[in-house]
Structure 1
């Protein structure tokens, strides 16, 4: 494949990538998920963010991806393989949507499980914060405003969601391994992601548990962040001295009291 052909390949790859990332935006979760709704929503967000990170590490998210050709870390053959993997991810969404429509047809019209949650209003504060941050990271503000008009659809069964995420996770893993030289860039991007997530400690802990199952890089970065924030503070030592030194530290003391490089009282 000549350079011109590679440019066409990268442009097609970028189109598939952006379509795949946007597919997550059209999924809703049915009320049948109950108390698991919030965790399941973050599982979807985590899968979307990981796919987005992979594409961003290759420059596929820019307005004109062909401009990244001089630094593109893959061969024409690898581009074709990546196109196939992204195509399979898009197929997974289509299959899941079709099965969802079949479930809906079999259910009675008054079935409460056909009602859906709204991720913008039904998430508790901790989960809502992480959801919004991850969505912003996965699709920047400009692209959020230009999402294609498409009817949203719902997943009603937890096993259907689990199967979809498991298959997507596997394909994204294959995409990551297809371009190993992009992994350092993915680490940089993930570190930047964590810097926005870690401001909410409770949310970061929840996300770390989810990432452990589907995004090891994010889990590792969150663990490092948590360890750094939990570093013990240096102890402040107090030394009492002087011939007339008596009393207890928690009450009162007469004599000389030294804390660090500051001394109080007289001998």
Structure 2
């Protein structure tokens, strides 16, 4: 796997290695050297995708030849995230389907958390990635041909899964209602509240709305819906692993999600329902939620994590400032 943060060095007077050794140079606005004093990401991107050093001095960042896949990553992310927003439901969600609905919106949350950690949440879908300012979070990402390719293919797969599901959709069924319009008297009101919270957070992590987002689809208690959720889980698992060094950034974002959930009135009962619907695929959010809920209840409690067990549970026998043990899924 090629790593642009450790490119092969070819020591020559005009090589990139020699230029880096000499330090930043002055150049006209818009050239690569303009940004070299801040960060070498742009130079490394050009090296990775075999753009010659001789052409770099006169090449403008905006409008220059885009490297394979990298220039399409922002638009692929926006399309994939927007697909989740097209889903409608029957007006009253059955209690049997509530967990499936919870898993679905949890996938949306995981996707956009990954996108935000990568810096895609503030990038216009039509932006040339190399035109971003050096202060943008994307400059800190360890880009390589392989992880860019894997991520782009994963995002495209999400769109294809939705398209395939739409083709199988029974057009004779009622069009359904949006998540926010679901009947609040349904027995699944806890799940609906959690889904609304996850959807609101996820939508904020998409830079802009694309015009060609397609028609709405109806997700309900069918075999096709279950297959969609299962396949989508596998795709997003692979997508998140395409940039493994983003774990810390995603953990920080999960902490932010926790505060949003608490604003929606999430309690221990809500957490238990959410755990059953998505704990196996998202220990980051669970860890953040449990720590915050225990702190809210005790004021100052120590949380001990067991990350090698699938035996979920919370021990509350020492509720007054004691030590709590929470079993979290292994990676």
Shared fold, TM over 0.5? yes
Return the structure number with greater relative CO, CA threshold 8 A, min gap 6.
1
Distance 2:246 2:236 in 1: 13
Distance change (3 Å), C-alpha of 1:70 and 1:147: closer
Of the candidates 255, 278, 283, which is equivalent to residue 211 of structure 1? 278
Larger of the two Rg values belongs to structure: 1
Distance 1:2 1:30 in 2: 52
Structure with more of its chain in helix, by fraction? 1
Distance 2:87 2:164 in 1: 13
Q: Which runs of 5+ in 2 are unaligned?
A: 1-48, 52-63, 299-318, 322-331
Q: How far off its partner does 1:212 sit?
A: 1.5
Q: Which deviates more from structure 2 when the two are superposed, residues 135-144 or residues 180-189?
A: 135-144
Q: TM-score, normalized by length of structure 1? A: 0.72
Structure with more of its chain in strand, by fraction? 1
2:166 matched to which residue of 1? 97
Distance 2:277 2:98 in 1: 11
Counting only pairs closer than 5 Å after superposition, residues 137-216 of structure 1 correspond to structure 2 as 137-140=201-204, 146=209, 148=211, 150-199=214-263, 200=265, 201=267, 202-216=269-283
The answer to whether 1:220 aligns with 2:280 is no
1:48 matched to which residue of 2? 108
Q: Which runs of 5+ in 1 are unaligned?
A: 235-267
Equivalent residue pairs, number? 225
Q: Is the 8 A contact 1:31 1:156 kept in 2?
A: no
Q: How far off its partner does 1:160 sit?
A: 1.8
Distance change (3 Å), C-alpha of 1:12 and 1:62: same
Of the candidates 182, 190, 193, which is equivalent to residue 129 of structure 1? 193
Distance 1:141 1:171 in 2: 19
Q: TM-score, normalized by length of structure 2? A: 0.59
CA RMSD of aligned residues (A): 3.0
Distance 2:217 2:65 in 1: 36
Q: Is the 8 A contact 1:41 1:119 kept in 2?
A: no
Distance 2:206 2:159 in 1: 23
Distance 2:248 2:282 in 1: 15
Partner of 1:150: helix, strand, or coil? coil
Distance 1:33 1:198 in 2: 23
1:82 matched to which residue of 2? 151
